[in-house]
Structures are given as structure tokens and as C-alpha cells.
Amino acid sequence: MEIVIPLIVGLSLIWLVGRGVPWNAKLMTLAVTLVIVLLIVLLERGGYWPASWRRS
């Protein structure tokens, strides 16, 4: 549940902002967003994320 709600909110924001935008631009925005999220998760799990930014 900790992942599902932010994912739904993010996708709905992309949908709301992207109304009237071509589908290929929406798909590119979604792909870039997912890559950024994946990069952050990999950095955090790899120990490269600053300790002061982590939740306790």
C-alpha cells in the first residue's frame, strides 16, 4: 500500500497535466518518471543515498 497510493497519485497527475498532449508525449513522460523513480530506489538500496534524506 505504501507504493500503490503514490503511484496512483503520480499517474493521475500525469493524466491531468497531459490532457490535450499527444500520446507519445504522455508515454515519454511516464517512461522518464519511472526511470527517475527506479534510479532513486536503486541509489537508496545501494547505499549511495545520503543518510540524512532517509526516513527513520
Per-residue pLDDT of the chain (56 residues; tens, 9 = 90+): 567 778 888 888 877 777 888 888 878 888 888 888 888 888 888 888 788 877 76
Contacts of 40 (CB under 8 A, 6+ apart): 49
Give the pLDDT score at 31.
87
Closest CA to 14 of 37, 44, 48, 46: 37
Give per-residue burial for 1-40: e unless 16+ CB within 10 Å, then b: eeeeeeeeeeeeeeeeeeeeeeeeeeeeeeeeeeeeeeee
Give the pLDDT score at 1.
57
Give the pLDDT score at 33.
82
